[in-house]
């Protein structure tokens, strides 16, 4: 669902609050265009194809680039990181 929301957002990149989202096994890198509340959620599928959700961060971030640590247990297996703020969403796959 979040990937669809991101694809349908027609705003120019320069006018978005969530400028970028990248993920590694250890951290999320979020670039914010203006001060806003950001929620990071990890969605993963285990080896039995069950879905799991873990809230990794939910707070106000000032403008700029931020590195936020991720719980290694929350990102094992096939995982996606979803960043949300009011009216915007970004999705990044977590590499294995």
Alpha helices in the chain (DSSP H): 2-8
Residue pLDDT tens, the chain, 96 long = 565 555 555 666 667 788 899 998 899 999 999 999 999 999 998 888 899 999 999 999 999 999 999 998 888 888 999 999 988 889 999 998
Q: What is the pLDDT of residue 76?
A: 86
Q: How far apart, in Å, are the Cα atoms of 61 and each of 36, 52, 96? A: 6, 25, 27
Task: Supply 49's token pair.
Answer: 């194809």
Task: Supply 61's token pair.
Answer: 């971030």
CA pair distance 56, 60, nearest whole angstrom:
13
Task: Supply 55's token pair.
Answer: 């809230």
pTM of the model: 0.84
Task: Supply 81's token pair.
Answer: 């990181």
Q: What is the pLDDT of residue 25?
A: 87
CA pair distance 81, 79, nearest whole angstrom:
7
* CATH class, 2-94 region: mainly beta
């Amino acid at each position: 669902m979040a990937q669809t929301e991101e694809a349908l957002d027609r705003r120019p990149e320069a006018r978005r609050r969530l400028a970028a989202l990248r993920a590694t096994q250890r951290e999320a890198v979020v670039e914010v265009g203006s001060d806003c509340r950001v929620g990071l959620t990890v969605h993963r599928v285990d080896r039995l194809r069950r879905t799991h959700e873990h809230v990794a961060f939910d707070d106000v971030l000032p403008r700029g680039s931020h590195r936020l640590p991720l719980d290694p247990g929350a990102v094992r297996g096939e995982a996606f990181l979803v960043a949300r703020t009011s009216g915007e969403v970004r999705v990044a796959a977590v590499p294995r």
